[in-house]
Amino acid sequence: MPTTPPGWYPDPSGQHGTRWWDGGQWTQHVDGPTVQTGRPRVPDDVPTDTVFVWVLALLPLIALPISLLYNPEFRYTTLEPGGVRTVDPSSIYTPQYFVLQVVSVLLYAAEVVLAFFDHRALQRRGVVRPFSWGWTFLLAPILYLIGRYVVVRKVAPGRPMWPLWIGIAVTVLGIVLGIARVVTTFQQVFS
């Protein structure tokens, strides 16, 4: 009949890191404190959705109508010598274009700040190691929202995730409108 060989194994009582198994029984020899690797649960009466995460999920709705304000009318010019036909840059770089660029940078900054405040609010509500707000720098709010709710589901299972679902819907809407806009622009350029 096989037996477990003597050695250091995780302490079955959970009070210490490891405990010596002599091959037949646990001894009093322990090594190290318990290392908690998981996250403790958040009490049921502590909300996990903040005003910051709601604004973060809905913020791209501001960008969608603003992006529709920019409608370049492509004018073409012929460059001499050689008669090469090209797009006139002044038909693309209009005041609306620059307003759109400034608004985009401001919205991007707002997304990063909102993720930071949401991260800090989660810490204050007892969430240990919430998802890092720094990920917002990479892919705007959707990456932060997904990562945030992965962590929240671990510490507060069963809670609704409406900001995440709304954020995903807004992102999909933006992608569909963006693709439609690109197709329209290419049709205008090549017609």
44-93 pLDDT tens trace: 999 999 999 999 999 988 888 888 888 877 788 887 777 788 878 888 88
On whether both 156 and 95 belong to a single domain, the answer is: yes
Same domain, 124 and 30: no
pLDDT at 182 over 80: yes
Query: Which of 65, 74, 66 lies closest to 93, judged by CA?
Result: 74
Residue 42 inside a domain? The answer is: no
The token pair at 107 is 């919205």
28 shares its domain with 87: no
The per-residue pLDDT of the chain, averaged, comes to: 86
Give how many domains the chain has, as a whole number.
Answer: 2
Query: What is the pLDDT, as a whole number, of residue 58?
Result: 93
72, 107, 97: which is closest to 186 by C-alpha?
72
Same domain as 59, residue 28: no
> Is 40 inside any structural domain?
no
**In terms of domains, do 25 and 59 share one?**
no
In a domain, 183, yes or no: yes
DSSP 59: T
- Alpha-carbon torsion angle 14, 18, 19, 24, nearest 10: 100
Query: Mean of the pLDDT values across residues 134-161?
Result: 90
Residues 85 and 165 in one domain: yes
- Is the per-residue pLDDT at 168 higher than 80? yes
The answer to whether position 29 is within a domain reads: yes
Residue 111 has pLDDT above 80, yes or no: yes
Same domain, 24 and 68: no
Boundaries of domain holding 17: 1-35
Helix (H) or strand (E) holding 4: none
Q: Where would I find the beta strands (DSSP E) of the chain?
A: 7-10, 16-21, 26-33, 76-79, 84-87
Is residue 82 in some structural domain? Answer: yes
Average pLDDT over residues 20-48: 80
Give the residue from 137, 107, 108, 132 showing the smallest Cα distance to 118.
132
Is 160 part of any domain?
Answer: yes
- pLDDT of residue 36 exceeding 60: no
Are 22 and 92 contained in the same domain? no
* Domain assignment of residue 46, yes or no: no
Tokens describing residue 110: 């707002």
Label residue 96 by pLDDT band (50, 70, 90): confident
Residues 97 and 172 occupy one common structural domain:
yes
Q: Establish if 45 belongs to a structural domain.
A: no
Residues 72 and 16 in one domain: no
Q: How big, in percent rounded to 5, are the helix, strand and coil portions of the chain?
A: 55, 15, 35
Together in a domain, 24 and 55: no
Q: Which residues contact 190 (CB under 8 A, 6 or more apart)?
A: none
Query: How much is the pLDDT for 10?
Result: 85
Examine the pLDDT at 34 and tell me if it is beyond 60.
no
| Of residues 154, 147, 146, 158, the one with CA closest to residue 128 | 154
Residue 91 CA to residue 93 CA, distance in Å, equals 6
**134 in the same domain as 88:** yes
Question: Region 165-187: what's the mean pLDDT?
Answer: 90
